[in-house]
Amino acid sequence: MRKISGATFAGIFQLALTFPSQGGEPVRVKITNLAFLPAEITVQAGETVEWVNEDFIDHTATETSEEWDVPIPAEKSAELKLTRAGTFSYYCRIHPGMKGTVHVIAK
Amino acid sequence: MMRNSMIGMVAGLVLSTAIAIAADKPSDPQIAHIAYTAGDLDIKAAKLALEKSKNETVRAFANDMVRDHQAVNDKALTLVKKLGVTPVDNETSKALIAQAEKKQAELASLSGSAFEKAYVDNEVAYHKMVNDALRTTLIPSSSNAELKSLLETGLKIFEGHLHHAEMLAHTHH
């Protein structure tokens, strides 16, 4: 088995540590079989949520008071940057039984 | 509310009687035909709503019905092709079509908010009836695992439609 040198190992470790904060990786919510998974997430203000729709039908992520309304086409993804702190309940407008919650905490 | 339950009961009775007449247990080709027909009829009702209604929420709902039922029916067509199954016309499909044609004619004679109320009420009753048939007869009777799984997904989607239609009905009463 090929040995990984100390420098390479340190490089990988550093990349793993720095990638999330540098790249601003979105927090993912999977949609499968008409459910948001996980149904409840916590993000920091300024972070982005990405909904990945694995269903063959369209969905939406609609905030209960319609502060935001994100269409998520079948087998596609959609993103939303959340800037305001608070707890937001959302649902799918087309299939209102699908529900989720995002807690946005101030930086 | 009472009227809705009555419509649902009568419609459910028509369908369950038709299923009982058709066979003790419908075959997979018959089930595929019934499920496809049920979706197609709801698309037709939605297209009528898009022709007749100017109400934004009713139009949005009708567009959702066209898109979702078309997506499910496209999946069903792909599946029957893959399985080499030819959907077979049957008494239940015929009863569904006869009932829907009667309803379409009734809806076509209405306009404005009277049409919108009747359309939404019928969507509640229709989805109740079809969901009930899926739950009690079509899903338990299907032999092929992939067909059963698609019907189960369909039921979840149509339960979402029923929930949506009930919310709409509430705002139109």
Q: Please report the ipTM that was assigned to this predicted complex.
A: 0.84
Indicate the pairing of strand A40-44 with strand A99-105.
parallel
- Yes or no, beta carbons of B167 and A98 under 8 Å apart: no
For chain B, helix (H) and strand (E) counts, in that order, are 7, 0
- Helix (H), strand (E) at residue A72: strand A69-72
Residue B128 or A6, more confident: B128
Give the C-alpha separation, B133 to B75, whole Å. Answer: 20
A76 and chain B in contact, CB less than 8 A: no
Residue A8 has what pLDDT?
Answer: 38
* pLDDT band (50, 70, 90) for residue A12: very low
Looking at the domain assignment, is residue A5 inside a domain? no
In this complex, is the C-beta atom of A58 within 8 Å of any C-beta atom belonging to chain B?
A: yes
Which residues of B are less than 8 Å from A58 in CB distance? 64, 67-68
Confidence of residue A20 (pLDDT cuts 50, 70, 90): very low
pTM as predicted: 0.83
Q: Which two tokens stand for residue B159?
A: 């339960």
Structural domain contains residue A35: yes
Is A56 a domain residue? yes
Specify if A9 maps to a domain: no
Q: Which residue of A has its CA nearest to B153?
A: A33
Q: What is the pLDDT along chain B (173 residues), one digit of tens a residue?
A: 444 444 444 455 555 555 544 556 899 999 999 999 999 999 999 999 999 999 999 999 999 999 999 999 999 999 999 999 999 999 999 999 999 999 999 999 999 999 999 999 999 999 999 999 999 999 999 999 999 999 999 999 999 999 999 999 998 76
Question: Which pLDDT band, with edges at 50, 70 and 90, does A24 fall under?
Answer: confident
The CATH number of the domain holding residue A70 is: 2.60.40.420
- Domain assignment present for A79: yes
- The arrangement of strands across the sheet holding A27-31 comes to A36-37, A27-31, A48-53, A77-81
**What is the per-residue pLDDT for B93?**
95
What is the per-residue pLDDT for B172? 73
Number of domains in chain A: 1
pLDDT of A15 > 50? The answer is: no
Query: Could you identify the residue written with the tokens 């999330």?
Result: A20
Say how far apart CA B151 and CA A100 lie, in whole Å: 25
Q: Choosing among A94, A98, A99, which should be mutated to test the B contact, i.e. which has the most B CBs within 10 A?
A: A94
Point out the residue among B60, B75, B161 whose CB comes nearest to the CB of A56.
B75
Q: What's the pLDDT at B77?
A: 97
CB atoms within 10 A of CB A80: 17
Whether A72 maps to a domain, the answer reads yes
On whether residue A17 sits in a domain, the answer given is: no
- Verify whether the Cβ–Cβ distance B163 to A34 is below 8 Å: no
Of A33, A58, A97, the CB nearest to B67: A58
The CA distance from B14 to A92, in Å, is 32
Rounded Cα distance between B19 and B35, Å, is: 13
Domain ranges across chain B: 2-171
CA distances, B84 to each of B28, B39, B144, B150 (Å): 11, 21, 12, 16
**Mean pLDDT, to the nearest integer, of A26-42?**
97
Given pLDDT bands bounded at 50, 70 and 90, which one contains residue A17?
Answer: very low
The reply to whether residue B160 touches residue A74, judged by beta carbons under 8 angstroms, is no
Closest CA to B166 of B26, B17, B61, B94: B61
Mutate to test the interface with A, among B123, B124, B163 (most CBs of A within 10 A): B163
Architecture of domain B2-171: Up-down Bundle (1.20)
Burial B111-125 (b: 16+ CB within 10 A, else e): eeeebbbbbbbbbbb
Q: What CA–CA distance (Å, rounded) separates B36 from B147? A: 12
Domain that holds residue A58: 24-105
Look at chain A and count its residues: 107
Mean pLDDT of the A69-97 span:
97
- Compute the nearest-CA separation of A92 from chain B (Å): 9
Assess whether pLDDT exceeds 70 at residue A89.
yes
Residue B173: the pLDDT is 66
For B154, nearest residue in chain A (alpha carbons): A33
Within-domain flag for A4? no
